[in-house]
Amino acid sequence: MRHLMNPLDFSVEELDRLFDLANDIEKHPENYAHKCDGRKLATLFYEPSTRTRLSFETAMLNLGGNVIGFADATSSSAAKGESVADTIRVISCFADIAAMRHPKEGAAMVASQFSSIPVINAGDGGHQHPTQTLTDLLTIRSLKGRLDHFTIGLCGDLKFGRTVHSLINALSRYPEVHFIFISPEELRVPDYIIDMLKEKQISYEEVIKLEDRIADLDLLYMTRVQRERFFNEEDYVRLKDFYILDAAKMGMAKPDMLVLHPLPRVNEISVDVDADPRAVYFKQVQYGVYVRMALILTLLGLEE
Ligand code: CP
């Protein structure tokens, strides 16, 4: 039995197979409409979500399966003090696979240790968000045709943004990826990630102004300032609009630069960018369904 806690849980070769499967699902959805007949997915969401939970549920429904779960910890027995370990033991009696989002780092890992069904980490605190990374990688691979030899700018809250941490981890395994980290001083990428890049001799830069480097980017990954992880509101208010990507800044970018964003967006991408063909953040959401379908099939051993 396999779980997914971190994008590095899959080798590069396994990811290639997963993305090939996702692309086949995109082309031939009818071939997959009954692959999970009689199976159940449990979505255990202790933190708010629109995309991830509904994307997982859509993925399972598209595969012919069913879904159970909760979208709010206050409506579950967590509100009475039940531990994650006990909850997953119970859910293992009801479902065949579970996706868990939790505000505490490592919560999904704890669940996996007590589970008798595959557990997918759907976001644990400011730590990792592996299925968002699978979504990001599938989007890049499908639209750029490769996952290597590019310069990617990651912009915004690089300290608390778990999608950023997972994506850097995942891309660090592909050749000739140059990272440009664009953030205010207070929201710099954590030291443990910088140490990992140094150890692997992967090239990176840290800058503050987006305008200084946007012209050099093949990919721009925008992120929201993570209000829920700030210790005080004053700091959040000071930093929340530090970056706003607008049509004027897009005018400085390469004609084939892609703009990604895990969403939800607040103010960091102006709506006047949405009609730009380089803005692919809503296409990204669709790729998220295909890759979660491929992941469910793979973890349930139904991919053949
Ligand atoms: N990208 C993402 O995780 O969105 P949700 O918080 O809406 O699930």
C-beta atoms surrounding 113 within 10 Å: 11
As a whole number of angstroms, the distance between CA 180 and CA 218 comes to 11
- 8 A C-beta contact, residue 291 and residue 134: yes
Is 80 exceeded by the pLDDT of residue 102? yes
Give residue 101 CA to ligand 1 midpoint distance, Å.
10
Give the integer Cα–Cα distance in Å for 97 and 171. 27
Based on the number of CB atoms within 10 Å of its own CB, is 8 exposed (0-12), middle (13-18) or buried (19 or more)?
A: middle
CB distance 49 to ligand 1 below 6 Å: yes
Q: Does residue 228 have its Cβ closer than 6 Å to ligand 1? A: no
Q: Into how many domains does the chain fold? A: 2
Residue 297 has a pLDDT of: 98
Residue 184 located in a structural domain:
yes
Summarize pLDDT for 187-239 with one digit per residue, the tens. 999 999 999 999 999 999 999 999 999 999 999 999 998 777 777 888 877 87
CA distances to 100, 123, 131 from 49, rounded to whole Å, are 11, 10, 13
- Answer yes or no: do 121 and 154 share one domain: no
Rounded CA gap, 302 and 304, in Å? 6
Do the beta carbons of residue 197 and residue 179 sit within 8 Å? yes
Question: Among the atoms of ligand 1, which is closest to the Cα of residue 55?
Answer: 8
Give the ligand 1 atom nearest the CA of 101.
8
The boundaries of the domain holding residue 293 are 7-128+288-299
pLDDT tens profile 13-65: 999 999 999 999 999 999 999 999 999 999 999 999 999 999 999 999 999 99
Residue 130 — φ and ψ, nearest 5°?
-65, -35
User: 262 CB less than 6 Å from ligand 1?
Assistant: yes
Mean per-residue pLDDT of the chain: 95
The rounded Cα 285 to chain-centroid distance in angstroms is: 10
Q: What is the pLDDT of residue 226?
A: 78
Distance from C-alpha of 22 to C-alpha of 295, rounded to nearest angstrom: 8
The reply to whether 156 and 272 lie within a common domain is: yes
Same domain for 280 and 139, yes or no, is yes
User: Any long-range contacts for 275-278 (C-beta under 8 Å, 24+ apart)?
Assistant: 276/247, 276/250, 278/250, 278/253
* Residues 203 and 276 placed together within one structural domain of the fold: yes
From ligand 1's centre to the CA of 163, what distance in Å? 9
The strands making up 177-182's β-sheet, listed across from edge to edge, are 204-207, 177-182, 150-155, 219-222, 258-260
| Within-domain flag for 220 | yes
Q: Which CATH number goes with the domain that contains 58?
A: 3.40.50.1370
Judge if 59 and 146 occupy the same domain.
no
